[in-house]
Structure 1
Amino acid sequence: MPLDLTPSQALGLWHAVAVEQVREDGRDLTLRQLAILLEIYLVPPPHTVRGLAAKLGVTKPVITRALDTMGEQGLVTRLRDERDRRNVVIKRTVEGALYLEHLGDVIIARARAQNS
């Protein structure tokens, strides 16, 4: 289903999805956390704190704080890299995959509703 949206319509879609997420999901991820989560799930692994920081143009402590929150919510886990103990590898979880699958479903449903 190709969409040809104006900037206003695109923002309206984003708004509708954001409102639904706030109403239905208690996680309340920040835009930065969501960007990190999408990077982890949509880009093939491995993912490290260092790599995510470089990709998103932020510091490692910024990534670490976001991962702390997402880890508490069960969306990701972290493990020390056995080959290079300086690296922390970020792993996907079933709960994180289900969260993003639901988010994708919400986006599709809202896009279809807006397009009809």
Structure 2
Amino acid sequence: MIVLRPLQALRLWQQVSLSEVRDEAPDLTVRQMAILLTIYLDPPPHTVRGLAAKLEVTKPVITRALDTMGALKLVSRHRDEKDRRNVLIRRTVEGALYVERFGDAIIAKAQELPL
């Protein structure tokens, strides 16, 4: 287990954020990133209603975030054929590559941290 002091954790967050800006990666808000990581790290299925409950936000908040991430092709939305009231959120190849690259960036920046 890696143990970081608060300033080290903040430095890591700063360095990863700077790396994302410099690489011209999609500019996601913290909320959008939380939603994206939930979609990719937690087992599916994911629905707007389920994401709203998990993140303790409203469905319109999730919908706005998904609009942005959908335009970036990080996720896709489809009606649930079993229950047309539900919207299923699906992973995409672009999204999977983005999340994997983001994880790699965290590892790289963590290895650069002074002990």
TM-score for the superposition, normalised by structure 1:
0.96
Equivalent pairs counted in the alignment come to: 115
Equivalent AA in structure 1 for residue 31 of structure 2: R
Matches for 1:1-116 after TM superposition, within 5 Å: 2-115=1-114
Q: Cα RMSD between the aligned structures?
A: 1.0
CA distance in 2, matches of 1:106, 1:26: 11
- The alpha carbon displacement at 1:115 in A equals 4.5
| Identity score, percent | 66
User: What whole-Å deviation, never above 9, does each CA across 1:53-89 have from its counterpart, x for those lacking one?
Assistant: 0000000000000000000000000000000000000
Equivalent AA in structure 1 for residue 30 of structure 2: L
Q: Which runs of 4+ in 1 moved over 4 A?
A: none
Structure 2 residue runs without a partner (length 5+): none
Structure 1 residue runs without a partner (length 5+): none
Give SS of 1:99's match: helix
TM-score for the superposition, normalised by structure 2:
0.97
Give SS of 1:38's match: helix
